[in-house]
Amino acid sequence: MKPKILRPLKAIREKCLDCCCGQTKAVKECTITRCTLWPYRMGRRPKPD
């Protein structure tokens, strides 16, 4: 069986889901802003300021 290869943003999303026990609502409402993945947690690049 081949390992699943994910694009970087998808991999970040999967990590966030893992951190939140698979709860998509918990990922959206995540308050751990010190996490380096936090801006990418929804599987998209953040909008530039």
Backbone angles phi, psi at 25, to 5 degrees: -65, -40
- 19 domain-assigned: yes
**What is the pLDDT, as a whole number, of residue 48?**
82
User: Where in the sequence is the domain holding 35, given as residue range(s)?
Assistant: 8-40
- 18 domain-assigned: yes
- 49 domain-assigned: no
Tell me if 11 sits within 8 A of 43, measured CB to CB. Answer: no
What is the model's pTM?
Answer: 0.81
- 24 domain-assigned: yes
Q: Total structural domains in the chain? A: 1
- 1 domain-assigned: no
If one compares 2 and 17, the residue with the highest pLDDT of the two is 17
Mean pLDDT for 36-47 is: 92
- 12 domain-assigned: yes
